[in-house]
Amino acid sequence: MIFGLADTFCSHGMHATHGSHGSHGSYRGPIFAAGLPDIAWLDYNTAWVVVGCAMLGGVCGLLGVFLMLRKRSLIADAICHASLPGIAIGFFASLAVGGSGRDPVWLLVGAAISGTLGALSVMGLRHWTSLKEDAALGIVLSVFFAFGMALLSLVQQTESGNAAGIEGFLYGNTAGIIAQDAFWIAILCGSVTLILLLLRKEMQLLCFDSSYAASQGWPTLAMDLILMACTLWVVTVGTSIVGVLLIVAMIVIPPAAARLWSDRLHWNLLISTIIGIASGVIGAMSSWLIEDLPSGAAMVLTAAALFSISLLLANRRGILWQWTEQWRMQRQIQEEHVLRGMFEWLEQENLAPSLHGSVRSQPVSKNKIASSLGWDSRTIEQVLRRLVRFGWVHDRGDQTVTLSVSGIQQSHRAVRRHRLLELYFSRWADLSPDAIDRCADYTEHALDDELLARLERDAMELGNRVDLPPSIHPVR
């Protein structure tokens, strides 16, 4: 942004962009006046804007994964707010050497120095005081930001304060990106990416178990400083694109969205980088298409939209996935309860089908099943229809049902698991038989094969049968 922002601050602007600049760094493209705009052919400068935003978004996503795993995501927020007084000091320094105060080199250097002091202050408070990291972050963030606001009020009182271009650093200014800026952004993003990928294993060890890394002789402090240096570089350059107040969102949101999709580090790095690149491209294009839309805000809102989609649709952690799993588990619980209820009623009548050789069980009344489970007839009918569809139950059409061959096997499995749990609770918990029965009802459906094998081992140690242990309470 050194060259492009200089042009922007000096009011030369982007001569090749469509129309004039929008507020806070948006740049105008075709407006929706005559149908859909022609976005297939971007002008020269706009193409570099999109490339620059994409590179920044990608490196923010990559860096953010390590910061999130290290539980240092908010350190970027502290650096962002700590750089605010540096921007104002850079303005005054530029005036002191005879400049106009609009030189982005001084502004960026000031932001980098101030951000460094903020990061070191957080690390110093955390290491040499009894303060927790969240308290240290809160102190540094608020103090530096307050100091920056005080200095900015002084900037506005100077003769050239209104033309200082400070607003571009606060809210972002992608309109100032030209080819030379994109070149320096590429060098920065490539350097940070190369450092993080070369030190991926070391950073992985630092993020997941820093105590073990220190015990093995790894220089954890130096690795932390490298991570902070990368964060400082990205924040300093990203400030000119997204703004000092929004760059932290580009570091936090993509890895948070990626975390919803996978537990593996390499997948988190890839997905977070893709989300960051997509946020940069879509945000820059949105700012180009829609008049007066701030580009930094568009990038952050795009990242937030992708996070919302991930929160809704991600496998295992997505809301829809969890709802689907809960719904599936509820149906499975109902089906296993009905199968166990049928078997135990037959067992009570000395008609329990054998696991081997039984083709079909004796008929069981639907009303008996509903009575034993305490369910209404409508719920029983719904569950029985599913069991008939699975081929586990045959409906005789006279308000009675029978277990099929596969239904006998499934009912044996459900009863066996339930009673193994009852034996376990009766051995280790001082509970009444009814309480043990309820505990087994609540936990039996989550048993995997390994836990079931352990319960079988405990049952054999007690001298009980493993195929189908007897119930510890009267079957009703």
What domains can be seen in the chain, in order of their start residue?
2-30+40-314 (1.10.3470.10), 322-461 (1.10.10.10)
**Using CA atoms, how far apart are residues 280 and 238, in angstroms rounded to an integer?**
11
What b-and-e string marks burial along 218-228, b requiring 16 or more CB atoms within 10 Å of the CB?
A: eebeebbebbb
Burial class for 476, CB neighbours closer than 10 Å (0-12, 13-18, 19+): exposed
- For residue 364 the two structure tokens come to 């069981």
- For residue 383 the two structure tokens come to 């569950």
391 conformational bin, left if phi > 0, alpha if psi -120 to 50, beta if neither: left
The pLDDT assigned to 288 comes to 82
**Cβ-contact 78, 118 below 8 angstroms:** yes
**Using CA atoms, how far apart are residues 64 and 60, in angstroms rounded to an integer?**
6
Neighbours of 156 (CB within 10 A): 11
Question: Region 385-403: what's the mean pLDDT?
Answer: 92
Least trusted range by pLDDT, from 36-45, 48-57, 164-173, 277-286: 36-45
SS3 call for 355: coil
Q: Starting at the edge strand that comes first in sequence, how are the strands of the sheet with 364-365 ordered? A: 364-365, 400-403, 393-395
DSSP string over 258-278: HHTT-SSHHHHHHHHHHHHHH
Half-sphere exposure of 321 (CA within 13 A, CB side): 12
**Using CA atoms, how far apart are residues 195 and 80, in angstroms rounded to an integer?**
22
The pLDDT assigned to 383 comes to 94
Least trusted range by pLDDT, from 14-23, 58-67, 116-125, 195-204: 14-23
**Using CA atoms, how far apart are residues 119 and 122, in angstroms rounded to an integer?**
5
The predicted-structure confidence for 400-420, as pLDDT tens digits, reads as follows: 999 999 999 999 888 888 888
**Using CA atoms, how far apart are residues 240 and 49, in angstroms rounded to an integer?**
12
The predicted-structure confidence for 311-340, as pLDDT tens digits, reads as follows: 999 888 899 999 999 999 999 999 999 999
The pLDDT assigned to 292 comes to 77
The pLDDT assigned to 145 comes to 86
- pLDDT > 70? residue 1: no
Q: What's the whole-model pTM score?
A: 0.76
**Cβ-contact 86, 114 below 8 angstroms:** yes
The predicted-structure confidence for 71-109, as pLDDT tens digits, reads as follows: 888 888 888 888 888 888 888 888 888 776 667 778 778
